[in-house]
Amino acid sequence: MAKKNLAKNTIPNKLYFKIGEVSTITGVEPYVLRYWESEFKAIKPSRTQSKQRIYRRKDVELILEIKKILYEEKFTIAGARKRLQSVKSENKKQLALDFTVKKDQKKILKEIKAELKALRKLLG
């Protein structure tokens, strides 16, 4: 049985975590974490010189998301992979949309600035 979560979904403010720490934080046994590494290519812990796994914060966040998809939403591994891929795809679309909106806002601001300059020229 995995160790209890430190505090539900609380990740300490650190850059790197050992597998035991990740297990404690996520409530997932180390052997399951190692298995998930083979099934979800996005989980890529680095290795120390002594070959110990070192996870980054984004790895821990992804592991928590995978745990939620598998254990709470009852997806299979394959289904979870597809779900993560669709979320990633949606995030890319949202980033593109955000960029377009910002680009449009920038254009509007330039137009307003030009109008204000013209108004200032008329008044001054």
Each residue's pLDDT tens digit, 13-36? 989 999 999 999 999 999 999 999
The conformation of residue 12, written as its DSSP 8-state character, comes to -
Same domain, 55 and 110: no
Top-confidence range, 83-87, 97-101, 102-106: 83-87
Choice between 85 and 23, residue whose per-residue pLDDT is larger: 23
**Model confidence at 3: pLDDT above 50:** no
Same domain, 25 and 45: yes
Mean pLDDT, the chain, rounded, equals: 85
Position 79 in a domain? no
Number of domains in the chain: 2
Helix then strand then coil, in percent of the chain rounded to 5, is 65, 5, 25
Domain that holds residue 103: 85-124
- What integer pLDDT is reported at residue 7 of this predicted model? 42
User: Torsion over CA of 90, 93, 37 and 28, rounded to 10 degrees?
Assistant: -40
